[in-house]
Structure 1
């Protein structure tokens, strides 16, 4: 690690890189009559990196030394390639601390989780991985939520869909409550792996796209609950009140099985039976679809 990093050189690189980015490359409006700078504004980079504008400004001015987690989020926010990211860490004097892109390793569905999905034919079930990525689902989960197979793999994330998919958002009768809990669960995970660049991208994207996410993420509420009750309003079967339980695989992979069940004999139980019978006619014999991320 360099003992004498040049903070002014780092600031110059950050300014040059954000000047080269077009707003639409980062999910921002392509046209803005108030835009007076080439490329991205400081506040836009700060939002994408989930850091304060003041902190980012001081970075560009060479008045503060960037931490390793902040460098990871900036590399993602500024769309740096491998060489640019390596250079960023060199300028900051943190070459030895450069993360090994752990978040980009594929997440492979564990065989035991696949077998569980194959056997859960009458209740919605999902396998969640790191960052609440959706790794697998069964046909009844498709009938309840959406056709996950039609969602691009890099967008197939439980929290992202909660905020950006109108159908899933409208499905939740208590959306604000459920979304805040999901944000708190992600915040809990972020504490254990704050330099995950894929996590930084997810947080940056949702920070820019949704005011509620910005507010709730800034509150730093955490939640490790593995059970609760969810209330849905489904277009086919109407209102559903379902118990949501999540079990961890216990092998360090971060994979969790999320299952939604209803009280036997209740209207919600009948609704799930209707969904299950409907999906049985619509899907292939191989019940559980899955993907590697």
Structure 2
């Protein structure tokens, strides 16, 4: 019982640290001219000063400084709105700010993730659309034959290696598949950051993030930037080792029965004769 309580306290502390770092990163990206303030002279730090941001948000400088220091302070929704407005946050960043300050108990990823049989059968019946189910940590839990042939054998990978972020940043084969790797990696990282805010401090997430920082210089450089975006759909271009260039429209669907899981579906496009190439790959 005490272990669970300690873990919950550690999670709250991790959220405060994440919130503090996010505030600081958003403040430092703002220039005085962005908010109607003069640049002035002898500005030694990037972006706005803490006292300038506090003035814009209508809070005390000392109190705001405590927020950036990660102290145990619970800002009200009204104050969070004021901070979001002062920081010029977009909708995804604003949601991230509120998620990091949720008054609900932090979520932990200790419970096993089980994919229901109806979902498995639906996945298998998507014969001409590569698809898989992502768990809360973006682990690929189940996949269909088309996804296995397109992205490489998932069953030959270990649990961490089947993680989408690990494949994106630390798997040379998967990285070589993506024609627009850097653009995809940056957006995916920002979406993962937004998703992972609910699990700040969770040991499984912390271990994955530490592993990626160790194995990928890009992840190590981009993670501290605290960029977040809302979930996006779009087109991914692949350079498959057997079939060459292929284009897919990818869509993420939330599951009502399992809110922490997502169904990811890749629909082949006419571009690069992808439909024919996928059909050949499947046969």
| Shorter-chain TM-score range | 0.5 to 0.7
Q: Structure 1 unaligned runs (5+)? A: 1-48, 53-63, 68-98, 278-293
Residue in structure 2 matched with residue 123 of structure 1 by the alignment: 129
Residue in structure 2 matched with residue 272 of structure 1 by the alignment: 278
Task: Work out which structure has the larger RCO, using CA pairs closer than 8 Å and 6 or more positions apart in sequence.
Answer: 1
User: TM-score, structure 1 length as denominator?
Assistant: 0.58
Distance 1:117 1:143 in 2: 14
Cα distance 1:192–1:236, how it changes in 2: closer, same or farther (>3 A)?
same
- Asked if residue 177 in structure 1 is aligned to residue 183 in structure 2, the reply is yes
**Helix, strand or coil for the counterpart of 2:137?**
helix
Asked if 1 retains the 8 angstrom alpha-carbon contact of 2:131 and 2:265, the reply is yes
Asked if 2 retains the 8 angstrom alpha-carbon contact of 1:227 and 1:246, the reply is yes
Residue in structure 2 matched with residue 214 of structure 1 by the alignment: 220
- Asked if residue 164 in structure 1 is aligned to residue 164 in structure 2, the reply is no
User: TM-score, structure 2 length as denominator?
Assistant: 0.60
Residue in structure 2 matched with residue 245 of structure 1 by the alignment: 251
Q: How does 1:1-293 map to 2 (within 5 A)?
A: 102-264=108-270, 267-277=273-283
Q: Structure 2 unaligned runs (5+)? A: 1-16, 22-68, 73-104
Q: Which runs of 4+ in 1 moved over 4 A?
A: 49-52, 64-67
Measure how far apart 1:252 and its partner are. 4.3
Q: Give the length in aligned residue pairs.
A: 187
Residue in structure 2 matched with residue 91 of structure 1 by the alignment: none
Cα distance 1:258–1:101, how it changes in 2: closer, same or farther (>3 A)?
closer
